[in-house]
Amino acid sequence: MSDEILTEAKAHMDRAIQAMREEFGRVRTGRANPAILSDLRIDYYGVSTPVMQIAGVKATDGHMLVIEPWDKTSLKAIEKAIMASDIGITPSNDGIVIRLPFPAPSEEGRRELVKQCREIAEQTRVSVRNARRDANSKYDKLQKDSLISEDDSHRGQNEVQKATDEHIASIDAILKEKEAEVMEV
């Protein structure tokens, strides 16, 4: 029973870190990253479809994304969706592919992106701490209901704390790596 609580808490913490990684992938760093288009949807024959499902998206170099649709008639729809999105990049359509040039952000822009990354990391830390709190309250309830001993409750809470510390350290390492990527000129 107490192993299930720990497993569930670790799974929640892992999901929080995975969500943080996905959010970091959407942060525009001046480096071409196909993940920035993961939420972009277009109207494709009356169906809202993710761009990634109707086109090949690749980074040709560090500052250019190339979108090559499998159906060339969708070029205009993709271009229109990019213009309407909050990506902030003007697409270049040559009739075969769409090119998205990623200009390097200014120093001030990079500092804002670092600030945004820190906020995402803090939200993830809060989520990890919430998982710890929930697990600890479950251990307390089991102890109160006399289903586990006080020692088992403390042992379980210590294991949850160790998992929390490991996940917080992981968040800090991922944040540090992302900050270095963002501040790179």
Whichever domain contains 15, its CATH number is 1.10.132.20
Q: Is the dihedral of CA 164, 165, 166, 172 positive or negative?
A: positive
Q: Cα(149)–Cα(140) distance, rounded to whole angstroms?
A: 10
Q: Using pLDDT thresholds of 50, 70 and 90, give the confidence band for residue 101.
A: confident
State the CATH number of the domain containing residue 47.
3.30.1360.40
Give the chain's domain count.
2
Predicted confidence at residue 28, as pLDDT, reads 67
Q: What is the pLDDT of residue 65?
A: 85
For residue 131, which of 10, 23, 21 has the smallest C-alpha distance? 10
Tokens encoding 40:
């972009």
Of 85, 101, 117, the residue at which a domain comes to its end is: 101
Residues 123 and 172 in one domain: yes
Indicate if 95 and 111 belong to the same structural domain: no
pTM of the model: 0.71
Looking up tokens 């040559």, which residue turns up?
94
Per-residue pLDDT, averaged over 65-80, amounts to 85
Residues 40 and 22 in one domain: no
What confidence category does residue 25 fall into, taking pLDDT thresholds of 50, 70 and 90? confident
Give the per-residue pLDDT at 77. Answer: 85
79 and 113 assigned to the same domain: no
Of the residues 101, 133, 150, the one at which a domain ends: 101
Q: Does residue 139 sit in the same domain as residue 170? A: yes
Q: Which residues span the domain enclosing 90? A: 34-101
Report CA dihedral (137, 138, 139, 144) to the nearest 10 degrees.
90
